[in-house]
Structure 1
Amino acid sequence: MKKRILAVAAMATAAVLGVTGCSGDSGGSGGGSEDKGDITIGVFNGWPEGEAASYLWKSILEDKGYNVSLEYADAGPVFAGVASGDYDFALDGWLPLTHKKYFEQFEGEIVDLGAWNEDAKLTFAVNADAPIDSLEELAANADKFGNKIIGIEPGAGLTMTTKDAVIPEYGLEDMEYITSSTPAMLAELKKALDADENIVVTLWRPHWAYDAFDIKDLEDPKKALGEAESIHTFTSTGFEEDFSEVNEWLSNFKMDSDLLFSLENVMYNTDEEIKDYTPIVEDWIAENQDYVDGLTK
């Protein structure tokens, strides 16, 4: 867990907003050493599925001759950065619920290329041996969880959904809802599990935490967290013109949850401190070469 916190912090600190996505390509295909321009991918802080997909495309595009940088920020600033052209695209827009407000806010300023994964789900997770199984039981048992719900970034779509839907639907107003960051939430989760204490956190699927920790989801009979969602790629309005072949590749991009989990697992389920996942991702690509090659055909 320490390495995950350090990794995100180091990369977030290194992120500098800049208009870097304005160099167009020739629209041709293929790879090689030709410099085809600079591309900046916006990455949500603490969201591993988006980071994993971003590293995957960084390696793919660099192999094709593009110069790619990853810029980290919370969801709101990433949407704003893509809308302004500071970022060229991002890979972690959840619809129809989690990031609906951002897609509406920046309508006409960003382009939705469609979904690359259809199995996304917002969740409330607890330790596997917690005394409750449903969100309907949480208010009556709040004291067993220290009267706290541990959340993630304040600007995250999950945070908005928790405040606007889950808390009022299940009468959780008397519980303290703590938001800070995904690494901080994961650190609190690990701390509680190590101490054999109950804890409730806001989480989502797909996430490597379900492989790393003994946790379970609370049932959501009122569907306050919504049904399964899809994860979308969205670009700046000028991206298709500037990078036509990449736009086509991203429009056709699909990645099922089994493949995504396998990539996340090799990136995050390690005790090593990792600041650059590129070598790990390149090894994963070599083991899944047929799939990766198909992404740019």
Structure 2
Amino acid sequence: MMRLRTRKRQIAAGVAALGLTLGLTACAGDGDPSSDGGTQAAGDRLENGDLSTVSIGIHSGWDEGIAVSHLFKVMLEDEGYDVETGEAEAGLVYAGLAGGDYDVNFDMWLPSTHADYLEKYGDDLEQLGVWYDDAKLTIAVNEDAPITSLDELAAHADAFGDRIVGIESGAGLTRITQDEAIPAYGLEDMDFVISSTPAMLAELKGATDAGEDVVVTLWRPHWAYDEYPIRDLEDPEGAMGTAEEIHTVGRTDFTADYPTLASWIDAFTLTDEQLFSLENLMFNEDEGADPDASARAWLEDNATFVDDLQAAASA
């Protein structure tokens, strides 16, 4: 088996602002196949016809995408692939895909959350499949908060310290909260704290542990709903959008370069039970310490998962 040569990148927004032109070398210097023909030769293919090296772009802080990316990473390693990962904000990941610096991403939310990225980069991407169809953007509070709906939040803002705790600046959730929810519900006087997913979760944990009121931007599926006493605020204006699908998307020529992997991705789905158990193991029980080990442990507990997936792809 070819073993991993992982180079996990945390791409800082400040670096991007200094003019990073998407030379995300998560794989370009290691035989990355790109739209200009790449550097992998025909001899670098596996017996199944796929290029032997594959790079996965992962959105920082989006736990379902991190979980599925590492699930595929360990599955592919077991099949003889050399797997590389790079982690960055969504905009950098999609630009990297379009430029051939990444091969695949497992976390494109459509039709709303990542619609702007699809519009910008869609001509240089391949849609590979939908693996989850009930994803939702939410604004959540502690379950004993004094309100149940977003249309009550402005009048009770002081109960929450006049703060809405958000995640990364480049996240679709952040954009939709800013552009849709805040004006729809007259929340302009509240401080919308744009931070990071770990920082948001730390505030959520601290507030619920202390019995304090808190309001955060969140999304389903997420393990936080199982771990913390929280509930979603109702959204009578529909500002946060309806249920979405989570798509897998690849660079141009992905299917030609990875015909077998593309068939597995097309057949890949997770039930709520499967996804929640994977996320809980990786981020709650194992505290995110070793996502590869968590994914491997999950596969051991779901012993037929890979065989079932490959059988579905061959059907």
Alignment TM-score, normalising by the size of structure 2 = 0.85
CA change 1:224–1:189 in 2 (3 A) is same
1:76-112, Cα deviation, whole Å (9 max, x unpaired)? 1111111111010000000111111111111211111
- State the Cα distance separating 1:27 from its structure 2 match: 7.1
Matched, 1:291 2:300: no
Which residue of structure 2 aligns with residue 41 of structure 1?
A: 56
- Change beyond 3 A, Cα 1:141–1:274: closer
Distance 1:129 1:284, change over 3 A: same
SS at match of 2:310: coil
Q: What pairs up with 1:64-75 in 2 under 5 angstroms?
A: 64-75=79-90
Matched, 1:132 2:147: yes
Of the three residues 91, 102, 122, the one matched with 1:87 is 102
Cα deviation for residue 273 of structure 1 reads 5.5
For residue 13 of structure 1, report the CA deviation from its aligned partner.
4.1
Query: Residue 70 of structure 1 aligns to a residue in which SS?
Result: strand
User: Which one-letter code corresponds to 1:117 in the other structure?
Assistant: Y
Cα 1:274–1:97 shift into 2, 3 Å: closer
Q: Which amino acid aligns with 2:138?
A: T
2:120 alignment counterpart: 105
> Measured at CA, do residues 248 and 28 of structure 1 come closer, stay the same or move farther in structure 2, by a change above 3 Å?
farther
Of 8, 13, 26, which aligns to 1:17?
26
1:29 aligns with 48
- 1:38, 1:66 within 8 Å by CA — same for their partners in 2? yes
Per the alignment, residue 181 of structure 1 pairs with: 196
Aligned-partner SS, 1:210: helix
Contact 1:113–1:251 (CA under 8 A) maintained in structure 2:
yes
What's the counterpart of residue 209 of structure 2? 194
Percent identity between the two aligned chains:
50
Mapped contact 2:8–2:26 kept (Cα < 8 A): no
**Structure 1 residues 36 and 238, CA, compared in 2 at 3 Å: closer, same or farther?**
closer
The Cα of 1:222 is off from its aligned counterpart by: 0.9
TM-score by length of 1: 0.90
Change (3 A) 1:70 1:195: same
Question: 1:17 is aligned with what amino acid?
Answer: A
Aligned to 1:42, the other structure's residue is in SS state strand
- Deviations 1:198-241, CA, capped at 9 Å, x for gaps: 11000000001111101010001111111111100000002112
Identify which of structures 1 and 2 has the higher relative contact order when contacts are C-alpha pairs closer than 8 Å and 6+ apart.
1
RMSD: 2.0
For structure 2, the residue ranges without an aligned partner over 5 or more in a row are: 1-6, 12-23, 34-39
Alignment counterpart, residue 277 of structure 2, candidates 262, 267, 291: 262
Mark the runs of 5 or more structure 1 residues left unpaired by the alignment.
Answer: 1-9
Cα 1:11–1:38, aligned 2, differ >3 Å: closer, same or farther?
Answer: closer
Q: Choose which of 254, 263, 281 in structure 1 pairs with 2:295.
A: 281
Number of aligned residues = 283
Q: Which residue identity is paired with 1:29?
A: N
- Per-residue deviation at 1:121? 0.6
Q: Could you list the runs of 4 or more consecutive aligned residues of structure 1 that deviate by over 6 angstroms after TM superposition?
A: none
Q: Secondary structure at the match of 1:296?
A: helix
